[in-house]
Amino acid sequence: MNTAVIPEGLALHPVELIAEPTLGTRELPRLADRLRLSEIHADRPADLRPALEADALSYLDDMAAHGADFFVVRVGCSLIPSEEKDEEPFETLKIFFNLTSPGAPFQPTAWELAPVTTTKPVMYTPWATTYSFSKFGAKLEAKKNATERQVDSATVQANGTSTQRPRWDFYTRPVQSLGGDQRIEMLVRAPIGHPVIAEVRASATVKIRKFGRREMIARVPEQVSRVDLHAAPSWISLVPTSAPAPTPSS
């Protein structure tokens, strides 16, 4: 994950992670302060006009004339390392959004997502499988090849463009561990004159001592998990010079 991508004044709220129950599990592992999320923030593209190109501004103005409104939505999150070095590492983090406008002629959708899907080269040694047969039956052997192979492995996958349910999947890789701060952004197209409700959820895969690899569901506090974008706090008010927002393709 990137570092130094969220403003210093951004409030981050602890989110409890609870393991999904499995057959025969009596005790559910819990992680109290390993994930923190900010409230959902929203700004109007008009507030970002110095950072937008003329073509993008013209396009947004044209869409507004046809009953569409736009919000630049941001959420900050932070993964806190375990107190013990290399203990209970995060393997994946998933951030989900749900966008709704009750009673509106159309539903809000995410038009642009950031970060976008990102891959990095990873070297690995493939395994070769051989079979042998004898009077005692078949024998299967697996051996590592002598040469390494390079593949592109995703560290971030962004999905759900043009839908009500965008999501981000972050992965730990040999070239990049999963930790630190991350800013999630999207440009939301919504109907004018209606509430625009944004909800956020999260889950993670964590390798927990004594329990192994477990899927964890985040218990996101209500003040963080849901907001009407019309009443959401502003992100750019926390940042003297905001980075350019994602803009729609014309």
The pLDDT, as a whole number, for residue 226 is 97
Q: What is the pLDDT of residue 227?
A: 97
Q: 223 or 108, which is more confident? A: 108
pLDDT for the residue numbered 138: 55
Question: How high is the pLDDT of residue 246?
Answer: 54
| pTM, rounded to two decimals | 0.77
Start-end of H helices in the chain: 54-64, 222-225
Distance CA(108)–CA(120), nearest Å, equals: 32
Compute the radius of gyration of the chain from its Cα atoms: 22
Rounded to whole angstroms, the Cα distance separating 239 from 8 reads: 9
Q: Please, which pLDDT band fits residue 250 given cuts at 50, 70 and 90? A: very low
Say whether 223 sits in a helix, a strand or coil.
Answer: helix
160 exposed, middle or buried (CB, 10 Å; 0-12, 13-18, 19+)? middle
- pLDDT tens-digit readout, 130-182: 555 555 555 555 555 555 666 666 788 999 999 999 999 998 877 677 888 99
Q: Is the dihedral of CA 100, 159, 72, 179 positive or negative?
A: positive
Flag whether pLDDT at 201 surpasses 90.
yes
Neighbours of 39 (CB within 10 A): 22
Name the phi and psi angles at 223, rounded to 5. -65, -20
Residue with the bigger pLDDT between 77 and 173: it is 77
Higher pLDDT residue, 2 or 171?
171
Parallel/antiparallel/unpaired status of strands 90-100 and 167-171: antiparallel
Q: Quote the pLDDT of residue 25.
A: 61
